[in-house]
Amino acid sequence: MLTLLKLLKDGRFHSGQALGTALGISRSAVWKQLQHLEAELGLSVHKVRGKGYRLAKPLVLLDAAGIGAKGPCEWPIHIFDSIDSTNAEALRSISGGAQAPFLVLAERQTAGRGRRGRKWVSPFADNLYHSLVLRIDGGMRQIEGLSLVVGLAVMHVLRDMGITGAGLKWPNDVLVGEKKIAGILLELVGDPADVCHVVLGVGINVNMRSTDEVDQQWTSMCLEAAKDFDRNELVGRLVAKFQHYLRLHQVSGFSAIQEEWERYHLWQGRAVSLIAGINQIDGVVMGIDRQGALRLRVDGVEKIFSGGELSLRLRDDS
């Protein structure tokens, strides 16, 4: 099925006979494969008598050479057509002895995950599903504020590519207005006090136009800019931006990035509710501290909050 898709990716018409010859199957088998392609991958195939079959729009699939066109990538790149999730594959690779750093990408995820166990909708060849694995030596200082650093890098790439309204929401989201366009999921393996591996998972809505599966406000690069984007260029730009910010973070710590992050925080000064399990804390966002924790004014007193299971929401009176 994926071989057939690669024959059709140019968006031009291909006869059933030509496709069958290329694949070594009958025309009726081609038709069955096209039906599977539509059902499993959610792609639209147009059929015109006398012309053959074509995709509703051309596909640009992820490709290491295309990614490298923006500049050399220091990290080995592993690209999958379909996978449960890039973070899950990254964790399996670590367990199997793979040497970090390396990058895992996929055309689609069958079990994409967001923070707090949420599903991350992952249609084929529409969005970016990206996990970078790093080896961390030297303890917790190398991890402080790391998810915020990743979010800042992602936001800058989106703005550089024309999504000028992109901004940050503590701790792990990139928004346009109040709509989510990207999310970050970090997972840690090993001893954070000594040597460990961290998986930097990034999901970006790139060319997705519609879905009924997302339970929150969302947008995509193509909806914001009214055009499709080359995901290979996006990955190439992300690689360069990550290399810059990760080096800065490694050398100088999160405090070197704190002020810049706050400058792009869309909820700075807003009235919010912080959700921690069944508990809710109402306050006003003051900013973040030198470790990337949230500073919240609660009943006139500044309090500090950090942790992966916290969720921040705007209050109705914000």
Q: Which helix (H) or strand (E) is 175 found in, with range? A: strand 173-176
Which helix (H) or strand (E) segment holds residue 228: the answer is none
Among residues 54, 108, 169, 180, which one is catalytic? Answer: 180
User: Residue 180 catalytic?
Assistant: yes
- The continuous run of DSSP H or E covering 273 comes out as strand 271-276
230 within 8 A of 138, measured Cβ to Cβ: no
Residue 90 pairs in a beta bridge with none
**Tokens (6 digits) for 309:** 């299971």
Answer yes or no: is 219 a known binding residue. Answer: no
From 6, 51, 116, 313, active-site residue: 313
Q: Is 85 known as a binding-site position?
A: yes
Q: Give bridge partners of residue 51 from the DSSP assignment.
A: none
Overall size of the chain counted in residues: 318
Confirm whether residue 205 is marked as ligand binding: no
For residue 185, the surrounding DSSP H or E stretch is: strand 179-190
Residue 143 to residue 100: CA distance in whole angstroms: 16
113 marked among binding-site residues: yes
54 marked as part of a ligand binding site: no
Q: Is 306 annotated as a binding residue?
A: no
- Contact between 150 and 184 under an 8 Å Cβ cutoff? The reply is yes
CB atoms within 10 A of CB 317: 6
According to DSSP H, which parts of the chain are helical? Answer: 2-8, 16-23, 27-41, 64-68, 86-95, 146-160, 221-225, 231-252, 255-263
Q: Is 87 annotated as a binding residue?
A: yes
Of these residues, 54, 108, 115, 241, which one is catalytic? 115
115 is catalytic: yes
Q: Hey, which residues are catalytic here? A: 115, 180, 313
List residues forming the annotated binding site: 85-87, 109, 113-115, 180
